[in-house]
A and B are shown apart, each in its own frame.
Chain A
């Protein structure tokens, strides 16, 4: 038990679970304040998500829908955690997700490209967006958080302007891919049949998981990853050791941008959602990616589970009784969870000091016992 607690992974897991439990609890308390009558039911509805349906085939189909939206979230959280390992807080992830969406939809609807070129185009745009932040950071000393936010807004307005050209004439949404550009829809390879013929389930989901594993391997097992982590730990030491810290910063943000943009493409190329060209703020997907990255303990494998959890409760918010509460309570819960993630370091510290104190006590006891024995003689 004691040795188990000493392991870093176990500590991260405990901290994350604590954040989730506390987040749900605080969310429950907020609901109690608003209307005590339905609070318990509302929290259950959020946690149950697709289990709210009574029929098994509907459940499995909606489980598929949650997974469809988990794939882009996972990409966003990978983007955040990849950059964070290098000491960069990539808040531009929200905009990079949007630029990926913009790229793939425009290429599909205006130029009628097929799915793979659309994906690659989105990735390139995302990398370009990340590159701007990286260049500003490396050569202009501009804080990546501020420039990222500015790019988020620029991207949002640019996307609205560009996608207005390919929007449906009757609604503010872009045209359905299945009507105008079926060639750009991601292939399903029969995966949809596993989820009760859910036409939105595609290769996006396994692709995102494979990328999570690749990110882990790159960070932990390659020289490039080592250099990146070294730059993150101490920029000056890395520079002194002969690593190109400027190049590393730019490359990191490019990769982060590419990952997030791919996330946008992985969602919109399933035709599950259409872009609303009158959107007045960037979608929450990118910001939820930040939540998922930290909840997953900044570990790519952890991010798979935390992304699923965040998406699970976000979708679950739709099942809340609208006559009592707003569906935004799931946003509320996930933002409380991110807030609590700020305390993770403290929780780990508390576990460690607890362990050390326990050790000290045991040693003191042992010493006392030995001293006692000595006295007997």
Chain B
């Protein structure tokens, strides 16, 4: 039971972080389908930090630097989406899809190159981080508390405050609803959209490092993040683009995802004799059903996905 709780919280943290990222981007008016790729690159940033930092570093400092690495990589990578979709008015769906492929391919090529450079016989795409990983865990009587759970909660509060209680957040949301109206009162729409996408890069990067450090035990970069970026988008839609509701949705989907990992530990579930694949499918199937019923009266930002054109009304 404790194990289920642990997995649920960790998967929920990943989904929450990435979904909040998507939330910022979409509120500014840019659909961020590249979250999956941003997660991979963010994870790469964090993993590289862990590889090159000295092992005798104080634990807390290490945690902070790894998080910072993930954020910086995520932000830098999301700039590719921003420049294409905001300045060059590219189709956001194509660019997002390209970023997902580019993230996995680029990270794999890079990690393999690093591994082969260190040892010519090593052509794997794994970065070892067994030791540094321990810095992220605190054992509380059998329950492995992970710093990411705290990070996710803090980032949730930050997102809520920024979006609803600051001038910046309200202006950001105005750019996603009616950019021309926002521009008419002197808001720089392009700048706001850049901010939205870059913030989503930071959140996505955090989600990515969280996923590879806690969600799975071993990670090959060519696997990507198993659709978590897209699941997060579904969480965001299910949460109707509102941070608090997104948190609840993330908990639900985190639980479903965790069940597929630990169902074998429960006797009554094991006795049902359902193949493991069914549990793997569960989150996605339920997601489809939920979307089918909730998308009709969607509260999506009105101008999302439409490149900003000053001349339009």
Which A residues are within 8 Å of any B CB, using their own CB?
30, 34-35, 89, 91, 136, 140-143, 145-147, 149-154, 157-158, 160-161, 280-281, 284, 287, 290-291, 294, 322-326, 328-329, 331-332, 334-336, 338-339, 341-343, 345-346
- Write the nearest CB–CB distance from B85 to chain A, whole angstroms: 8
User: What is the 8 Å Cβ interface bit string for chain B, positions 116-155, against chain A (1 contact, 0 not)?
Assistant: 1100100101000000000000000000000000000000
In the complex, B105 has a CB within 8 A of chain A: yes
- Write the nearest CB–CB distance from B288 to chain A, whole angstroms: 5
Known: A331-B105, A339-B84. A157 touches B97 (CB 8 A): no
Q: Give complex CA distance A323, B293 in Å.
A: 52
The segment from B65-73, B162-170, B263-271, B274-282 that touches chain A is: B274-282
Q: Give complex CA distance A146, B234 in Å.
A: 7
Q: Give complex CA distance A152, B85 in Å.
A: 26
Which residue of chain B has the shortest Cβ distance to A150 in the bound complex? B284
Contact A140 B295 (CB under 8 A): yes
Contact A326 B108 (CB under 8 A): yes
User: What is the 8 Å Cβ interface bit string for chain B, positions 65-103, against chain A (1 contact, 0 not)?
Assistant: 000000000000000100011001111011101110110
Collect the chain B residues with CB atoms within 8 Å of residue A287's CB: 97, 101
20 A–B pairs (Cβ distance < 8 Å), ordered by A: A91-B93, A136-B288, A136-B291, A140-B291, A146-B230, A149-B227, A151-B284, A153-B281, A158-B281, A280-B223, A290-B94, A291-B101, A328-B109, A331-B105, A332-B106, A335-B98, A336-B98, A338-B97, A339-B95, A342-B90
Contact B88 A141 (CB under 8 A): no
Contact B84 A335 (CB under 8 A): no
Q: Give complex CA distance A280, B95 in Å.
A: 24
In the complex, B287 has a CB within 8 A of chain A: yes
In the complex, B61 has a CB within 8 A of chain A: no
User: What is the 8 Å Cβ interface bit string for chain B, positions 155-195, against chain A (1 contact, 0 not)?
Assistant: 00000000000000000000000000000000000000000
Contact B296 A326 (CB under 8 A): no
Which residue of chain B has the shortest Cβ distance to A338 in the bound complex? B98
Contact B280 A157 (CB under 8 A): yes
Collect the chain B residues with CB atoms within 8 Å of residue A151's CB: 284, 288
Collect the chain B residues with CB atoms within 8 Å of residue A290's CB: 94, 97
Known: A142-B295, A146-B234, A323-B120. A153 touches B97 (CB 8 A): no
Collect the chain A residues with CB atoms within 8 Å of residue B234's CB: 146, 150
Cβ contact of B292, chosen from A142, A284, A324, A328, cutoff 8 A: A142
Collect the chain A residues with CB atoms within 8 Å of residue B33's CB: 145
Q: Give complex CA distance A136, B296 in Å.
A: 10
Q: Give complex CA distance A34, B116 in Å.
A: 10
Contact A140 B292 (CB under 8 A): yes
Q: Give complex CA distance A17, B80 in Å.
A: 21
Collect the chain B residues with CB atoms within 8 Å of residue A338's CB: 94, 97-98, 101
Contact B88 A280 (CB under 8 A): no
Q: Give complex CA distance A30, B84 in Å.
A: 20
Contact B277 A158 (CB under 8 A): yes
Contact B109 A326 (CB under 8 A): yes
Contact B113 A342 (CB under 8 A): no
Contact A332 B292 (CB under 8 A): no
Contact B109 A30 (CB under 8 A): yes
- Write the nearest CB–CB distance from A345 to chain B, whole angstroms: 7
Which residue of chain B has the shortest Cβ distance to A347 in the bound complex? B88
Contact A154 B285 (CB under 8 A): yes
Contact B226 A342 (CB under 8 A): no
Contact B292 A136 (CB under 8 A): yes
Q: Give complex CA distance A136, B280 in Å.
A: 22
User: What is the 8 Å Cβ interface bit string for chain B, positions 250-275, against chain A (1 contact, 0 not)?
Assistant: 00000000000000000000000001
Contact A343 B88 (CB under 8 A): yes
Cβ contact of A339, chosen from B99, B291, B293, cutoff 8 A: B99
Q: Give complex CA distance A294, B91 in Å.
A: 11
Q: 9 new A-B pairs (CB below 8 Å) besides A145-B93, A342-B84?
A: A34-B109, A150-B230, A150-B287, A154-B285, A157-B281, A294-B94, A326-B108, A331-B108, A339-B102
- Write the nearest CB–CB distance from A241 to chain B, whole angstroms: 23
- Write the nearest CB–CB distance from B81 to chain A, whole angstroms: 9
Q: Give complex CA distance A143, B80 in Å.
A: 24
Contact B223 A281 (CB under 8 A): yes
Collect the chain B residues with CB atoms within 8 Å of residue A322's CB: 123
In the complex, B233 has a CB within 8 A of chain A: yes
Q: Give complex CA distance A336, B105 in Å.
A: 10
